[in-house]
Amino acid sequence: MTDPINSQYDSHPLQPPPDDDSKNSDDQAEANPDKGKDFSGEVPALDTAWDKLPSFNDKPPLEEQSGGGGEKPTFSPDTNFTFKAGEVREAEQSMLNSTRTAVDGYEELRTKFLAEKDHVFGQGLRHEYDTESAIPVSMGNGMGSDRQHHNEPADFNGDEFGATMVPMMEKALAQVGSVLAATGEYIAMINIAGQMYSQADRESRFPPPPGG
């Protein structure tokens, strides 16, 4: 085997496994502290809340919250800006469509994995086979062979592999679910921003004349 390349940019390079595979259980537990743990409770079930985006003409939900009272802050004039509601709505709809597709795929994988995680990695796998004796044996109707059925644990240790893979898969699903949930919150913030702009636009009118 060739010698590893020492990089000046990687202060913690991945080390090759030792030649001696006889690790004890303490070393394995330290290398994989999540082995055998159940993280299924952290895997969120997701759904797309909106089939249709709320209108920008609706009052923003934040407007209904009670404030802390006191004087409202003043802001100095800023440069002019343009809010193109049509382009914002088109981008928001595109994100909603893509997120809905991703949520559907995530839910399909989550449901399938949680239903099959106890055996998908070969847990409890056994090897069943029949053998016949090479030496003829005496039977009631003459000579025959001795046939035996065997049911033994498979050579592949699926229980050990599953105890490592299932927690990793559950944590990966939890991370994907969290990203999709955060994406939904971002889309909702865009929609609220559009509603707030529309509300500000409706309230931007000249006051009544003095004395009138």
Q: What is the pLDDT of residue 61?
A: 83
pLDDT of 163 reads 87
Within 8 A by CB and 6+ apart from 54, the residues are 191, 195
CB 106 within 8 A of CB 177: yes
pLDDT given for residue 69 in this prediction: 61
Contacts of 162 by beta carbon, 8 Å cutoff, 6+ apart: 117, 118, 119, 120, 121, 122, 123
Helix (H) or strand (E) run with residue 116 in it: helix 85-116
| CA Rg value for the chain | 32
154, 124 in Cβ contact below 8 A?
A: no
- pLDDT means over runs of 10, the chain (212 residues): 62 62 55 83 91 91 60 74 89 95 96 88 75 62 64 76 88 93 94 91 83 64
pLDDT in the model for residue 208: 80
pLDDT computed for residue 112 by the predictor:
93
